[in-house]
């Protein structure tokens, strides 16, 4: 197959990855109803086609959090993404830099923040959870700053981990430790290309940022146990105020679906928010992100930057999100599909697909620049 779309790269990723890794990327919580609505709800917003507008020089560039970007798109933090290709997060940050868009590293990445910084041509963003172990949290803030990160994405929609049935069935998190290990080993044997590229030559297979706590030889099972024990359900807005005081750079709060919470984020001193339901991986039955965007934009537009993730699959989706008030979007699954399929080249291809689709959508709605992407270009059903 010659891949032409995000869905094509999804197919290639499924062919290449062991089942437990693909299902982890692709799946959602419980019945996955929110996962499905994240994509389908974009279709409620049709574009208003306009003609004869001189769109010879369509410009997709803009600013997000004061940073010039070639495209209003950020590679979102994705846990254990680096296991999908050899030292995967390093490859991804290079592709993002080449395309002129930001990359955000997950706390639970395969590559440490220091390893990514050593290979990153420019600064990148860092994502963190509220962890019970405040010593670890403070240390990660210091490590991220020392690595050159100046934008912190703080994820707040995981006070408790959700149940993801696909992960249980695949052996990633279900059954006994022995059954999980046997399931993962047998699946890896069925994917020799991945086993060679990542399984053999992609070592170490630990989680770089957490390795100092878990130990260099800790694997996925130790990671799940640590995360289950360290998510903090007691976290409140007071805790976020403390983070705001400690972090000197830009602070973005990720996991907002309600206008009242968006206003609380603004009042806490956040520079931006991410409207997100964690890609449908947490509260099944929650609103899709695109459905939540209009009310949140009405409440806080102009006060802080609004990013949107969960369900963005095309450049047309970016145009819709910006028309409804977003400053930009974050993509998670799409860039990991590209990484799994073709490494750095695949990530670059995914970004280019979004860029080309966005330019076509802008041209056919009569807009030369991002500033023209307002609600006037939409026909709502």
Q: Tell me the C-alpha distance between 22 and 10, whole Å.
A: 9
Whether the pTM exceeds 0.85: the reply is: yes
Which pLDDT belongs to residue 325? 98
Which pLDDT belongs to residue 218? 65
Which pLDDT belongs to residue 217? 66
Which pLDDT belongs to residue 210? 84
Angle at 275 between CA 274 and CA 277, to 5 degrees: 115
Which pLDDT belongs to residue 276? 98
Return the percentage of the chain with pLDDT > 70, whole number: 98
Which pLDDT belongs to residue 381? 61
Which pLDDT belongs to residue 229? 79
Which pLDDT belongs to residue 216? 66
Which pLDDT belongs to residue 288? 98
Note whether 349 and 342 are within 8 A (CB).
Answer: yes
Q: Residue 161: CA atoms inside 13 Å, Cβ hemisphere, count?
A: 16
Residues of the chain with pLDDT under 70: 215-219, 380-381
Homologous superfamily (CATH) for 6-380 = Aldolase class I (3.20.20.70)
Q: Which residues are catalytic?
A: 278
């Amino acid at each position: 197959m010659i891949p032409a779309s995000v869905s094509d790269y999804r197919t290639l990723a499924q062919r290449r990855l062991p089942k437990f890794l693909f299902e982890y990327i692709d799946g959602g919580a419980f019945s996955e109803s929110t996962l499905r609505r994240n994509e389908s709800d974009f279709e409620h917003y049709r574009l208003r086609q306009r003609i004869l507008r001189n769109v010879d020089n369509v410009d997709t560039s803009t600013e997000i959090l004061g940073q010039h970007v070639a495209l209003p798109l950020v590679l979102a933090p994705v846990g254990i993404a680096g296991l999908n290709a050899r030292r995967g997060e390093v490859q991804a940050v290079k592709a993002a830099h080449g395309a002129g868009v930001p990359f955000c590293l997950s706390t639970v990445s395969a590559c440490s923040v220091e390893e990514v910084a050593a290979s990153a041509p420019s600064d990148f963003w860092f994502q963190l959870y509220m962890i019970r172990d405040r010593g670890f949290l403070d240390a990660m803030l210091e490590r991220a700053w020392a690595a050159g990160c100046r934008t912190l994405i703080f994820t707040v929609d995981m006070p408790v981990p959700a149940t993801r049935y696909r992960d249980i069935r695949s052996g990633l998190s279900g059954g006994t430790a022995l059954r999980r290990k046997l399931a993962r080993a047998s699946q890896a044997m069925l994917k020799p290309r991945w086993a060679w590229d990542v399984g053999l030559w992609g070592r170490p297979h630990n989680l770089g940022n957490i390795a100092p706590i878990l130990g260099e030889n800790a694997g996925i099972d130790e990671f799940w146990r640590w995360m289950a024990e360290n998510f903090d359900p007691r976290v409140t807005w007071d805790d976020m105020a403390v983070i705001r005081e400690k972090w000197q750079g830009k602070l973005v709060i990720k996991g907002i679906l309600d206008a009242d919470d968006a206003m609380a984020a603004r009042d806490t001193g956040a520079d931006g928010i991410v409207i997100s339901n964690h890609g449908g991986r947490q509260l099944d039955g929650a609103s899709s992100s695109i459905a939540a965007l209009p009310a949140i934009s009405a409440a806080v537009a102009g006060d802080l930057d609004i990013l949107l993730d969960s369900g963005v699959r095309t450049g047309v989706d970016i145009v819709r999100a910006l028309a409804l008030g977003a400053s930009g979007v974050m993509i998670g699954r799409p860039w990991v599909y590209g990484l799994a399929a073709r490494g750095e080249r695949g990530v670059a291809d995914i970004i280019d697909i979004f860029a080309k689709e966005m330019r076509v959508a802008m041209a056919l709605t009569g807009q030369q620049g991002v500033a023209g992407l307002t609600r006037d270009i939409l026909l709502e059903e």
